[in-house]
């Protein structure tokens, strides 16, 4: 019987996210996601925080996606930060890029983004892998926020794929 990759293939035995599967831009995105998790008073990184990280530390692909969408990155970031802020939550303890501080959806999304990178012949997850996976993951709260204003996940994905094709290779 053939076995696939280990369930925790994106994590080190210590529970930390493997740094070798992240390019520099994605590492910046995840650091920003941690900062926005703290700033919005959540005790674990959720998919909206990943999206905020993408908006706060955009690479050329994310810029091109926002341009195709006709969105201002800083305005969009402010809207998501406001939407997901928990003003009356308890103070947040220090957070790390460890499995224990990532929601199940974020872990699933990171695994899917890693798989997408591998399918594209890359060893590292790019911000565009994260962005596209955010929109293609079933029941995505980020996609749902856009659907409320009439922008479908399919359209968001299409714009992201087009932006990825236009962006210079990492």
Comparison of pLDDT for 9 and 1, the residue scoring more: 9
Residue pair 23/16 in contact (Cβ under 8 Å)? The answer is no
Cα gap 130→148, rounded to integer Å: 21
Predicted pLDDT at 138: 87
Residue 91 lies in a domain: yes
Whether 169 has a pLDDT exceeding 70, the answer reads no
Residue at 9 is within a domain: no
Label residue 3 by pLDDT band (50, 70, 90): very low
Kindly report the CATH number assigned to the domain that includes residue 124: 1.10.1780.10
Task: Assess if residue 14 is contained within a domain.
Answer: no
Mean pLDDT of the chain: 90
Q: Is the pLDDT of residue 56 over 80?
A: yes
Residue 7 lies in a domain: no
Given a cut of 60, whether residue 29 has pLDDT beyond it is yes
Does 60 map to a domain?
A: yes
Q: Which domain holds residue 71?
A: 19-166
3-class SS string, the chain: CCCCCCCCCCECCCCEECHHHECHHHHHHHHHHHHHHHHCCCCCECHHHHHHHHHHCCCHHHHHHHHHHCCCHHHHHHHHHHHHCCCCCCCCCCCCCEHHHECHHHHHHHHHHHHHHHHCCCCCECHHHHHHHHHHCCCCHHHHHHHCCCCCHHHHHHHHHHHHHHCCCC
Query: Does some domain include residue 128?
Result: yes
Structural domain total, the chain: 1
Cα–Cα distance for residue pair 65/163, rounded to 1 Å: 5
Any residues with CB less than 8 A from the CB of 126 and at least 6 apart, and which?
23, 25, 26, 59, 61, 117, 170
Residue 89 within a domain: yes
* Per-residue confidence (pLDDT) for residue 89, from 0 to 100: 80
Identify the pLDDT of residue 4.
43
pLDDT at 90: 78
pLDDT at 96 over 90: no
Q: Does a structural domain hold residue 34?
A: yes
For the entire predicted model, the pTM comes to 0.90
Mean pLDDT, to the nearest integer, of 123-152?
A: 94
């Amino acid at each position: 019987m053939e076995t696939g990759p280990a369930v925790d293939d994106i994590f080190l035995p210590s529970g930390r996210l493997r740094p070798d599967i992240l390019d520099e831009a994605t590492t910046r995105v995840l650091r920003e996601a941690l900062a926005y998790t703290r700033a919005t008073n959540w005790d674990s990184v959720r998919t909206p925080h990943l999206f905020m990280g993408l908006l706060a530390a955009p690479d050329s692909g994310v810029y091109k996606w926002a341009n195709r969408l006709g969105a201002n990155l800083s305005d969009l970031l402010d809207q998501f930060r406001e939407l997901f802020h928990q003003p009356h939550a308890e103070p947040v303890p220090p957070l790390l890029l460890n499995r224990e501080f990532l929601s199940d959806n974020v872990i699933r999304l990171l695994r899917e983004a890693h798989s997408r990178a591998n399918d594209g012949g890359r060893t590292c997850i790019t911000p565009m892998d994260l962005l596209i996976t955010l929109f293609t993951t079933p029941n995505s709260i980020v996609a749902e926020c856009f659907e409320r204003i009439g922008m479908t996940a399919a359209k968001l994905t299409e714009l992201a794929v087009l932006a990825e094709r236009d962006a210079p290779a990492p």
